[in-house]
Amino acid sequence: MTGTVSIAGVELTPLRQIEDARGAVLHMLRADSPGFAGFGECYFSQVNPGSVKAWKRHQVQTQNLAVPTGRVRFVIYDARESSHTHGRTDVIELGRPDCYARLCIPPMLYYGFACMSASAALIANCADRPHDPAESESLAPEALAQGGPLSLLLAGLTS
């Protein structure tokens, strides 16, 4: 696994990859998985080489993310004033076969991601409730330039 999580509430759960010469079967989320908190929506976010999608923050929705195709760097920033990890930034890279895991991001954390692979990456998200623009916030990448989150994200493109 590349990177560790330290922000309160963020979880990284290794997922099973069942190898097969015809193509692997890749676990993602089961209703009987430990910690499963309900199903609201499954969708995909493609990230093209050299592209960054940042920053997002949700008021109530929890993200459950995996990267079955390509490689993605995630940067998570804790701006919750009441959090004991307030001000902390986590950097995680997900992709097969070495970093195939489910990344759980609870509400109220800023997060962004960048494609690290030479071909397009695919993020799958099984969120605990359907998308609702009223609880979803977007900031420009430059909005979190101070203190490191943006440079950590962009480092994924140039390292």
DSSP, collapsed to helix, strand or coil, labels residue 64 as: strand
Binding mask 128-147 for a copy of itself (x = CB under 8 A): -xxx----------------
Candidates 5-13, 47-55, 79-87, 150-158: pick the segment binding a copy of itself (CB under 8 A).
47-55
d(C-alpha 84, C-alpha 8), whole Å: 7
Q: How far apart, in Å, do the first and last CA atoms of the chain sit? A: 18
User: Which residue in the set 5, 12, 63, 68 belongs to the binding site for a copy of itself (CB under 8 A)?
Assistant: 68
Whether residue 130 has a cis bond before it, omega within 30° of 0: no
- Please say whether the beta carbons of 143 and 55 come within 8 A: yes
User: Which residue in the set 104, 109, 115, 153 belongs to the binding site for a copy of itself (CB under 8 A)?
Assistant: 115
User: Which residue in the set 4, 35, 41, 118 belongs to the binding site for a copy of itself (CB under 8 A)?
Assistant: 41
Report which secondary-structure segment, H or E, holds 71: strand 71-77
Q: Which is nearer to a copy of itself, 23 or 146 (CB)?
A: 23
Altogether, the residues listed in the chain come to a count of 159
Given the rule CB under 8 A, which residues bind a copy of itself? 21-32, 39-48, 51-53, 68-69, 115, 120-122, 124, 126, 129-131
